[in-house]
Amino acid sequence: MPVQVVIMLGGLPVTRTPVVFIHGAWLHARSWESWAERFAGRGWPTHAPGWPGEPPTAGEARKNAELLPDLGLEELTEHYARLVRSLDASPVLVGHSVGGLVAQHLLGTGVGEAAVALAAAPVNEVPLPAVRSARDRAATGRGPVLLSPARFRETFANTVPEEEARRLYERYAIPAPRRLLDDLGCAGAPRHPFTAADTANPRRGPLLLVSGQEDLVVPDGVTRAVYKQYGDSTALTELKQFADRGHTLVVDGGRRVVADYVLWWLDEHVVGAT
């Protein structure tokens, strides 16, 4: 369980806010391992929990896909809401893909000190990208949906060398729950109410939206459309776009640049806790 950490900034003691990392579909919780290490090195207490029923490694998840729970978006969101409420201090929520959607939903309801949504699945009426998802291709199947190494390379890791894509797949790729993909509106299913975020809430904490301009899963245009949704709120919302980056921007060789920008942004807007 993360605890607050007191560090010195400018000769004054500052109590750091905890950070909760929320991973997205098709990536294991270990996708945050380098982020957690880097954040901890800067004095941020970190916690990167897996989804309910998630095995310790991606390899185990792929091998035993039939044993994974068929989670829905509401169940996943409430899982993280309970975790956040159990902490001694309100944390920063850092989410990738579906995790970014969860972070925005929670922040809009007043859960969390601030949020960073990286290549986040779209909220509200912003449509899903017109990219054929693995769920679309497996619409008539049953059980969890696993990307093949080739499909992972084609859609997730389209901006990295083939060998790096293979390594990322082996370490991080896991099946995605079919019910969750349905809740997100894949394959034409109606979107779940938990895809909504209160974008007009003026009392929420700061929010940073991050996109990769070569992302094929959540294209940059989708993130920009979500950013416009927050235009009526007086709460701080900022957008950062990274050129030549795809959906693996949190795990690939350029991840440190993204993580360091997020750390800088947090230092600017979320120095400490109560």
Q: Which domains does the chain have, with CATH numbers?
A: 5-269 (3.40.50.1820)
Pairing assessment for the beta strands 12-16 and 5-9 based on DSSP bridges:
antiparallel
Residue where the block lists tokens 């807007």: 269
The Cα diameter of the chain in Å comes to: 61
Position 272 scores a pLDDT of: 58
Average pLDDT over residues 132-148: 66
State the average pLDDT for the chain. Answer: 90
The kind and range of the H/E element at 171 are helix 162-172
Position 190 scores a pLDDT of: 87
Task: Say if CB 273 and CB 90 are below 8 A apart.
Answer: yes
pTM (two decimals): 0.91
Average pLDDT over residues 129-155: 73
Position 271 scores a pLDDT of: 60
Cα–Cα distance for residue pair 258/274, rounded to 1 Å: 27
Q: Which residues contact residue 72 at a Cβ distance below 8 angstroms, ignoring those fewer than 6 apart?
A: 177, 179, 180, 182, 183, 192
pLDDT digits (tens, 9 = 90+) for 9-62: 444 344 679 999 999 999 999 999 999 999 999 999 999 999 999 999 999 999
Question: Would you tell me how many other CB atoms lie within 10 Å of the CB of residue 138?
Answer: 18
Pairing assessment for the beta strands 92-96 and 46-47 based on DSSP bridges:
unpaired
In terms of pLDDT, which residue wins out, 211 or 190?
211
Query: What strand order describes the sheet that includes 114-118?
Result: 46-47, 19-22, 92-96, 114-118, 207-212, 237-242
Radius of gyration of the chain (CA): 18
Taking 70 as the threshold, does the pLDDT of residue 219 lie above it? yes
Average pLDDT over residues 59-68: 95
